Amino acid sequence: MKVTRVMIVAVGGQGNLLAAKVLGEAALLAGIEVRMSEIHGMAQRGGVVESAIVFGGARSSLIADGEADILAGFEPLETLRAVAKCNKNTVVITSTAPLPPFAAAVGKVAYPDFSSVQKQILNVAGSLTAFDAAELAREAGNVMAVNMVILGAMAATRRLPVSEEHIRETIRLKTRQNFVETNLKAFELGLSQKS
């Protein structure tokens, strides 16, 4: 089966690892080979969290520069920081809601404006779907559901080897029971994003 490489980047606390886990569990449910790796050093201290999900027969669970099929970022600066993972066929999804690092939040360094982020991403990648995932998560009923919104947008690309239904089923089975409804709603809102 064709190998599909998905990279997810976020700021610690945004729920990146749960998004990756849902994709992994959905693959297990669908009987698709999957390997994942994560770097979450000091996530609770506001650092960057990266997850790589590799579907298909590859043995490596790492994604090298230029080799992601999908790059999904929960925060525009972090999406841009990971753009080296992209090539001309990479589909990029990003939330436009910024979470400025401290130095930028207090005005010591400039946070790049979105048009520049967009331009730099499109210099490297094939396409970009950008929207305010935090707003959609709020609309779904929980601002913490950004991860589910982005999952929906990933499914909308039709580049994932797992089906929407497998993802929905995984959300039902593997996310916290009292959040399932909100999570599913957030997923659907993400799914309706045009890519």
Partner 1 sequence: MHKLLTDEPGKKMLLLGNEAIARGAIEAGVAITAAYPGTPSSEISLNFFQMSQESDLYFEYSVNEKVSLEVTAAAANTGVRAMCVMKHVGMNVAADALVTLAYVGVRGGLVILVADDPFMFSSQNEQDSRYYAKLAGLPMLEPSSVAEAKEMTRQAFDLSEQLQEPVILRTTTRVNHSTDVVELGPISKAETRGTFSRNPMRYVTIPAVSRQLHVRLLDNLDKAMAVAEQSPFNFSEGSGPGGIICNGVSYNYVADAVQDLNLDGQVKILRLGFTHPLPEQLIKDFLGGCDKVLIVEEGEPVLEEGIKALAQEAKMTMTISGKDQALFSRLYEFDPALVREKIAFYFMGADTTATSSPARPGQAGLPPRPPTLCAGCSHRAAFHAVKKAAEGLDVIYPTDIGCYTLGMLPPLGMADFLICMGSSTGTAAGFSRTLDKKVIAFCGDSTFFHSAMAGLVNAVFNRHNFTLVILDNGTTAMTGHQPNPGVDMEKLGLSGYGRIDIAEVVKALGVPHMAVIEPYKLKKSIATLKEAFAFEGVSVVIARELCALYAKSLKIPAMKPFYVSDRCRNHKDCIDQLGCPAFFIKDGRVAIDPDRCTGCAVCAQVCPENAILPIKIKASPGDKI
Number of residues that bind partner 1 (CB under 8 A): 55
Task: Compute the distance between CA of residue 179 and CA of residue 115 in angstroms, rounded to an integer.
Answer: 34
Q: Within 37-76, which residues bind partner 1 (CB under 8 A)? A: 37-42, 44-48, 58-67
Tokens of 111: 């946070």
Whether 14 and 75 have beta carbons less than 8 Å apart is answered as yes
Task: Compute the distance between CA of residue 163 and CA of residue 155 in angstroms, rounded to an integer.
Answer: 7
Closest CB 192 distance from partner 1, rounded Å: 28
Closest CB 124 distance from partner 1, rounded Å: 5
**Of 2, 88, 115, 123, the one binding partner 1 by CB under 8 A:** 123
In sequence order, what are the beta bridge partners of 51?
8, 38
**Of 105, 113, 165, 192, the one binding partner 1 by CB under 8 A:** 105
Distance of CA 72 to the CA centre of its chain: 3
Q: Is 162 in the site for partner 1 (CB under 8 A)?
A: no
Nearer to partner 1, 159 or 174 (CB): 174
Task: Compute the distance between CA of residue 154 and CA of residue 117 in angstroms, rounded to an integer.
Answer: 20
What three-state secondary structure class fits 7? Answer: strand
Question: Which residues contribute to the site for partner 1 (CB under 8 A)?
Answer: 11-12, 20-21, 24-25, 28, 33-42, 44-48, 58-67, 77-78, 80-84, 100-107, 109-112, 120-121, 123-124
